A and B are shown apart, each in its own frame.
Chain A
Amino acid sequence: MIKKTCLSITIGLLCLGKASAESVFVTLENDNALAVVDPIAGKLIKKIPIGQRPRGIAISPDFKYLYIATSDDNTIKIIDAVTFKELGHLPSGKDPETFALNAAGNRIYVSNEDDSLVTVIDVAKKKAIKQIKVGVEPEGITVSPDNRWLVSASETTNMVHWIDTKTNTIIENTLVDPRPRAVSFTADSQQLWVSSEMAGSVMVLDANNQKLLKTIKFEISGITADKIQPVGVIIDKQRQRAYVALGPANRVAVINAQTFEVEKILLVGQRVWNLAFSPDQKRLYTTNGTSNDISIIDIDSQTVTKSIGVGTYPWGVAVKP
C-alpha cells in the first residue's frame, strides 16, 4: 500500500514536472515538419509532419493553437498545440511566409510577397476580410501590442507602411535602409525596430511620429561587413535589451534598448534567422537556418548555453509555457 502510494506520488510529481516544462516549436522548411523541443532538458522531443514548406509560426494568446504558414500549400494551418491535430486552415493567399497575430488573437495579417499585398484574416470566421496594397515584396509584418498599428515592411521598396488596424488603410510610409526584413514593436508600442538586411543596420522609429530615432550598425571582429545581415529582431518587455539575429554572421547582437549601444555579440549557429523569448523572458531561442539547430541564450548571464539539432532548415519559432 505504502509502495503504491509512493509510486503514485512519484508519477504525479513526474507528470507535474512534465506539465510545467516549456515547449519550443520550430518550423522545419526542408523537412516539411514541426519540431517540438524541450529546452529545459535540451532535447528534441519529436518531429511532426505539418505540410509543405512550413515557415511563419505563431501561438494563440491562450497557447491553445499554433498557426503555421505552409507556403507550398498556400495556407496557414491551425494546429492544436497539445495534440498537434490540424483543426483547420486560413485563407492566407499565395505563398505565405511571414504573418502577424494581434494581441487579442482575433486577426492575422499575412505578407503576400508575390502580389505586394497584406491579407487581413478574421481568425474566428477563418475568412480574409481585406487585402491591402503595399510596396513591392512585403516581408516583415507586426502588430503593435496596443493594437493601434499594423506595420508591413516592403523589401524592394525599402519602406515600412503604417496601417491603421481599425480601418486597414495605410496612414504613413517611412523610407528605411535597403531590404528591410523584420519589424518589431517594443512592449509599450512606442518604438518600432526595423532590421535592414543589405544595409546591415537596425533602425529605431518613434511610433508616435514615425520619425527615425537611431540607426544601429554592427561590427564583428573577423567577420566581413557583407556577412552582417540583420534579420529577426526582438525587444524584452522592460525595454532593457533588444536582440538582433545577424544572419550569415552566425551571431546575435545584444543591444541596450535605452542607449542603443551594442553591448555584446553572441555566437550561435549558422545563418541565424528568427528569435523568440521564453514566456518568462529568461531564455531566448534562435533558429539557425543552415546548421539545422536552435540555440538557447540565457538572458541573465547573456551567454549561449546550448544548441540543439532539430532538423533541416529551421525557420520560425514559437514557445508555449
Chain B
Amino acid sequence: MNFLHYWRAMSGIIGRELWRFITQRERFISALVRPLIWLFVFAAGFRAALGLAITPPYETYILYEVYITPGLIGMIQLFNGMQSSLSMVYDREMGSMRILMVCPLPRWFLLLSKLLAGTFVSILQVYVFLAIAWFYDIHAPWQGYLWIMPTLMLSGLMLGALGLLMSSFIKQLENFAGVMNFVIFPMFFMSTALYPLWKMKESSALLANLAEYNPFSQAVELIRFALYGQFDQQAFFYTLGAFMVFMAAAIVGYNPSKGMMSKKGGA
C-alpha cells in the first residue's frame, strides 16, 4: 500500500460524507436550526436573567448570546459527532460498513478517515452558524475566525471519536435514543457551554467539578479562547488527551477479534 492508496481512500470517504451532507438539505438545515433556536430563543430569554462577570477570554461585559456562542459551536460538533455515530450504526445495518472494513487498509486509518469526514462537515456547519450569528451582532475579532479552525479540527475529532466509540457499542439503530439521554444531554448541560463555572459553583460545587472535567467543557473553552485569538493550553491538552483515549477505545471496539464487534457478530 502506498501513499496514493491511503489518499484515495481518505478522499473517497471524506468526499462521500461531504456530498451526503450537501445533498441532504434537510440535514444541513436541521443542523443549523438547533443552535440557532438556542441562540435566538433561549439566549434571548435568558439575556436579562444572567448577569455575567468578566472572565477570560472576555475583557468586558458580554451579553448571554455572546457567552453561549462557543457552547453552541460545541453543540454543533457534539450533535454532528453523534450523527456520524448514528450513520455508522445505519451503515452497519445496511452492510456498507462491511464493504468499508474489507478495504485493504488499516482499520484505524479507515476509522480516522470517517472521523475526519465528520469533522469537516461540522466545521462547515460551524462557519455557516457563525456567519448567521454575525448578523445577530455576535462579532469576534477577525483573527478569531481563523484561530478556531485548528481548534475545531481537534474538538471535532474528539467528539467524533466519542461518537465512534459509542457506535461500536450500539447494536441497533433504535438504541440511539439512549445515547441522547445518557450521553448528549448530560454532556451538554453539565458543561460550560451554557453557564460559566463560577455561576455553577454558586449552586453546586459537585456540579461545577463535573462540568470542569467534562471533556465537552474543555472543548468549548478551547473554542471560546480561540475565537478571541487566545490559546487555552489546559483545554488543548485535555481535549487532545480525550481524543486519543476515545480513538484508541473506538479502534479496539471496532476490532473484530477483540472489541464489541466480536460480541455482535462482526461489522
Contacts and interface: CB of A to CB of B under 8 A. Distances in A.
A285 to B, nearest CB: 12
Residue of B48, B60, B63 contacting most chain A CB atoms (<10 Å): B60
Contacts of B59: 42, 305-307
A42 B59 CA distance: 10
B73 to A, nearest CB: 21
Contacts of B139: 303
Contacts of B54: 307
Contact of B61 (A42, A222, A250): A250
B205 interface: no
B41 interface: no
Interface residues of A, number: 17
Return the 9 tightest CB-CB contacts between A and B, nearest first. A307-B60, A222-B48, A222-B47, A306-B59, A304-B60, A267-B61, A306-B60, A307-B54, A295-B60
A268 interface: yes
Contacts of B47: 221-222
A11 interface: no
Contact of B44 (A222, A296, A304, A305): A222
B61 A307 contact: yes
A269 B59 CA distance: 12
B62 interface: yes
A267 B44 contact: no
A268 B48 contact: no
- Main secondary structure, interface of B, reads loop
A304 B59 CA distance: 9
Chain B interface size, as a band, is 10 to 19
8 contacts: A223-B48, A267-B62, A269-B61, A270-B51, A304-B60, A304-B61, A305-B59, A307-B59
B48 A267 contact: no
Nearest to B137: A264
Interface in A291-307: 291, 295-296, 303-307
Contacts of B51: 270
Interface of A: 42, 221-223, 250, 267-270, 291, 295-296, 303-307
B61 A295 contact: yes
A258 to B, nearest CB: 23
Contact of A305 (B48, B60, B62, B63): B60
A228 to B, nearest CB: 13
A250 B62 CA distance: 11
A296 B61 CA distance: 11
A302 to B, nearest CB: 11
Nearest to A296: B60
Interface string B9-46: 00000000000000000000000000000000000100
Residue of A42, A222, A291, A304 contacting most chain B CB atoms (<10 Å): A222
Contacts of A303: 139
Given A222-B44, A267-B62, A268-B61, 11 more contacts: A221-B44, A221-B47, A222-B48, A223-B48, A267-B61, A267-B63, A269-B61, A291-B61, A295-B61, A306-B60, A307-B59
Nearest to A307: B60
Contacts of A305: 59-60
Nearest to A295: B60
A69 to B, nearest CB: 28
A317 to B, nearest CB: 16
Contacts of B62: 267
A303 B58 CA distance: 13
Contacts of A307: 54, 59-61
A267 B139 CA distance: 14
Contacts of B61: 250, 267-269, 291, 295, 304, 307
Interface in B36-85: 44, 47-48, 51, 54, 59-63
A185 B145 CA distance: 42
A314 to B, nearest CB: 15
A222 B41 CA distance: 12
Nearest to B45: A222
B56 to A, nearest CB: 12
A50 B60 CA distance: 28
A303 B60 CA distance: 10
B227 to A, nearest CB: 15
B229 to A, nearest CB: 13
Contacts of B63: 267
Contacts of A306: 59-60
Nearest to B54: A307
